[in-house]
């Protein structure tokens, strides 16, 4: 009898998490994937396998408000069995994950059918059966090491090679089982990603509002499951975080009046809104916030025609909102989706030479992930997914930079001890955190917003393999008109962070004019087109500062701002990484100023002013 290492990978992550149109879809996808991993890991424990990661203690407890999610990779040691027993354990573990998904699917189907919705059952069954990709590989642990490597490490290296080969050997199953092959003909695709057929009935049907179906929206089986699994008070909509700054402008009495009108929309006979208990700012307004925006309100008013209770409640809310919009302006319609991941984690994990080393790494990463939900709440946001160093978080616009730096500090602290032990002599193997944050309009589908956040995270990575790889925040502003602004801010650059914070404060206090950023960009582009020297560009920029006036007034910009602006331009001009594309530093400074202007916005009018400054 041998000892074995067994690794199982569940997915696809994209299908379970990223396919989304609403905040609830994103949250529910993360929850579902974590639940499948929990079921698989619990089966490993039942089979007397020793879990290396995730830790057994994490599998056996669950508190979605406080605990992090489980990652989709499982690694275990199995002693005293032959290869056929390992194969049987792998099969049982994969089946446990499928059984858990089937259980969630049955619950969701009962909910939809209980509401009078006639589903395409054949397609539903086929999609649920085909939803999980589960890959397994195993390797025997030899009696002795090889080539100076411990026996565990030899087995682990063989295991990773086997799993990579297994993943490359794809299973190409038919799109439909034979008995449902004709059921997909002419059926509309899911509105989430267009990959699977809709299981909703043909023709227009009035669906209960609690399922959150927009006019003409189609859902596959996984989409229907997400609309049920994530419908409790465990999630908060992105719109709530976008409206956070506006809500804080309201006095307490006005917020109570607004909350009273909103509460009537939460009842079962209306169900146009949901309560939210997960965000840090939920105490001042514990609802999703979507109807605070005129565009969303108009859509709801159109869709609830024919429902007397919903129309009456919505009209009452409209009376309150119109008064608030007139006095305070409309809420800022832009929120933030943040995605983070570890850099050099693969290289760092490869430093492990024993199961104990892997467990220490897993424990450190899990300790960091467990801190993320509370960190998000501290900044008025909410953690959607925290699977190790892989994070997805909703945030208000104004706190994105501070929250990113707080996440980086928490990661560094959690990993410090194990990094010191395993990578003390190898700087290239020390992991860092990279964070991508997409600033997007709340009317964009969540799937699109998540893709943009993933692109921002890739932007944060920088040039792979270079000394400056990762360890940075990548900010991407996606203006709904189609313009995009990007800014990469390294976590080991406190001066850059301080500069951005200073520009943000200056815009909030109206000490900087809105046009300054765009005039700076115009100078930079002109100098680049004419081949002007850095000295000429610097002189043009100083003249611009002399002419500029404070926002809304005739006073000059204070020297306390003009001098730091010019110093920052010089610093950026001397950045070797940027010199090839921005020798004057003015383009990067213009992007900093534009982002700072947007980060200071709390109302739609302030956003419009930032757009209009172009």
pLDDT at 180: 52
Strands 432-441, 472-478: pairing is: parallel
pLDDT of residue 17: 76
- 382-387/334-343 β-pairing: unpaired
Cβ atoms of 41 and 89 closer than 8 Å: no
Residue 230 pLDDT greater than 90, yes or no? no
State the pLDDT at residue 610.
Answer: 61
pLDDT of residue 383: 87
pLDDT of amino acid 304: 79
What homologous superfamily does CATH list for 332-492?
Reverse transcriptase/Diguanylate cyclase domain (3.30.70.270)
Digit-coded pLDDT (tens) for 538-570: 899 999 988 887 765 667 888 888 899 999 999
Least confident of 263-272, 555-564, 591-600: 263-272
Phi, psi of 75 (to 5 degrees): -130, 130
Q: What is the pLDDT of residue 184?
A: 60
Confidence of residue 368 (pLDDT cuts 50, 70, 90): very high
Q: What is the pLDDT of residue 404?
A: 96
- β-pair partners for 441: 334
Q: Which string of DSSP letters, residue by residue, matches 91-148?
A: HHHHHHHHHHHHHHHHHHHHHHHHTT----HHHHHHHHHTS-EEEEEEEEEPSS-BTT
Where does the pLDDT of residue 533 fall: very low under 50, low under 70, confident under 90, or very high at 90 and above? confident
Query: pLDDT digit string (tens) for 389-430?
Result: 788 899 999 899 999 999 999 999 999 999 999 988 887 888
CA distance 350 to 555: 60
User: pLDDT class for 173, splitting at 50, 70, 90?
Assistant: low
604 or 131: which carries more pLDDT confidence?
Answer: 131
| CATH level 3 topology of 2-180 | Alpha-Beta Plaits (3.30.70)
Residue 399 has a pLDDT of 92
pLDDT band at 254 (very low <50, low <70, confident <90, very high): very high
Separation of alpha carbons 188 and 176, rounded Å: 15
> What pLDDT score does 279 carry?
52
pLDDT at residue 150 greater than cutoff 80: yes
Task: Determine which of 205-214, 315-324, 345-354, 540-549 has the lowest per-residue pLDDT on average.
Answer: 205-214
Residue 92: what pLDDT?
96
Mean predicted lDDT score pLDDT of the chain: 85
Three-class secondary structure of residue 409 per DSSP: helix
CA dihedral 233, 235, 240, 244 (to 10 degrees): 100
Helix (H, G, I), strand (E, B) or coil at 485: strand
Residue 534's pLDDT is 84
Identify which has the larger pLDDT, 194 or 430: 430
Does this model's pTM top 0.85? My answer is yes
pLDDT of 66: 52
Phi then psi for residue 300, to 5 deg, are -65, -40
pLDDT digits (tens, 9 = 90+) for 199-225: 898 876 677 777 877 777 888 898 899
Place of tokens 């003909």: 185
In this prediction, residue 596 has a pLDDT band, given cuts at 50, 70 and 90, of very high
In this prediction, residues 434-441 reach a mean pLDDT of: 95
Q: Domain map of the chain by residue range?
A: 2-180, 244-328, 332-492, 501-614
pLDDT at res. 135: 93
Q: 517: which 2 tokens?
A: 């950023």
- Exposure class string for 325-355: b at 16+ Cβ within 10 A, else e: beebbbbbbbbbbbbbbbbbbeebbebbbeb
Stretch 529-545: mean pLDDT, rounded?
A: 88
């Amino acid at each position: 009898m041998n000892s074995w290492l067994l690794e199982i990978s569940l997915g696809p992550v994209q299908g379970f998490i990223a396919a989304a149109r609403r905040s609830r879809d994103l949250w529910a996808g993360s929850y579902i994937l974590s639940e499948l991993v929990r079921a698989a890991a619990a089966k490993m424990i039942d089979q007397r396998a020793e879990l290396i990661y995730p830790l057994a203690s994490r599998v056996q407890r669950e508190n979605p408000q406080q605990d992090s999610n489980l990652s989709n990779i499982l690694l275990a040691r199995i002693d005293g069995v032959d290869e056929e027993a390992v194969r049987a354990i792998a099969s049982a573990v994969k089946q446990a994950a499928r059984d858990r998904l089937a259980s969630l699917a049955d619950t969701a189907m009962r909910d939809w059918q209980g509401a009078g919705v006639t589903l395409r059952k054949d397609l539903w069954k086929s999609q649920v059966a085909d939803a999980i990709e589960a890959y397994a590989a195993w390797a025997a642990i030899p009696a002795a090491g090889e080539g100076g490597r411990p026996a565990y490490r030899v087995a682990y290296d063989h295991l990773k090679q086997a799993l990579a080969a297994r993943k490359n050997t794809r299973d190409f199953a038919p799109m439909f089982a034979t008995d449902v092959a004709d059921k997909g003909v002419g059926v509309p695709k899911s509105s989430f990603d267009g990959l699977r057929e809709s299981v909703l009935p043909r023709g227009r049907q009035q669906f209960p509002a609690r399922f959150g179906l927009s006019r003409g929206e189609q859902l596959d089986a996984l989409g229907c499951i997400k609309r049920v699994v994530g419908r409790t008070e465990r999630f908060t909509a992105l719109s709530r975080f976008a409206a956070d700054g506006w809500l804080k402008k309201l006095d307490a009495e006005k917020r109570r009046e607004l909350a009273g009108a909103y509460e009537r929309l939460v009842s079962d006979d209306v169900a146009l809104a949901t309560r939210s208990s997960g965000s840090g700012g939920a105490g001042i307004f514990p609802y999703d916030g979507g109807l605070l925006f005129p565009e969303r309100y108009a859509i709801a008013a159109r869709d609830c025609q024919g429902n007397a209770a919903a129309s009456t409640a919505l009209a009452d809310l409209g009376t309150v909102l119109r008064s608030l919009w007139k006095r305070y302006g409309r809420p800022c319609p832009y929120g933030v989706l943040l995605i983070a991941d570890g850099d050099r984690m693969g290289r760092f994990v490869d430093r492990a030479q024993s199961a104990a080393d892997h467990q220490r790494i897993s424990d450190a990463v899990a300790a960091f992930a467990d801190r993320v939900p509370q960190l998000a709440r501290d900044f008025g946001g909410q953690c959607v997914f925290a699977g190790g160093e892989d994070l997805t978080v909703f945030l208000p616009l104004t706190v994105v930079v501070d929250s990113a730096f707080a996440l980086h500090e928490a990661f560094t602290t959690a990993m410090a001890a194990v990094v010191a032990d395993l990578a003390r002599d190898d700087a290239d193997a020390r992991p860092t955190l990279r964070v991508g944050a997409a600033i997007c309009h709340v009317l964009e589908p969540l799937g699109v917003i998540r893709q943009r956040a993933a692109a921002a995270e890739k932007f944060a990575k920088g040039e792979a393999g270079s000394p400056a790889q990762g360890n940075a925040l990548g900010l991407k502003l996606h203006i709904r008109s189609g313009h995009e602004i990007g800014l990469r801010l390294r976590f080991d650059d406190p001066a850059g962070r301080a500069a951005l914070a200073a520009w943000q404060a200056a815009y909030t206090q109206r000490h900087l004019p809105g046009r300054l950023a765009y005039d700076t960009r115009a100078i930079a582009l002109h100098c680049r087109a004419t081949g002007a020297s850095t000295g000429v560009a610097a002189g043009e920029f100083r003249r611009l500062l002399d002419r500029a006036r404070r926002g809304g007034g005739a006073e000059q910009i204070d020297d306390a701002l003009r001098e730091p602006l010019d110093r920052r331009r010089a610093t950026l001009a001397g950045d070797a990484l940027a010199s090839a594309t921005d020798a004057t530093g003015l383009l990067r400074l213009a992007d900093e100023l534009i982002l700072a202007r947007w980060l200071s916005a709390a109302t739609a009018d302030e956003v419009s002013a930032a757009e209009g400054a172009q």
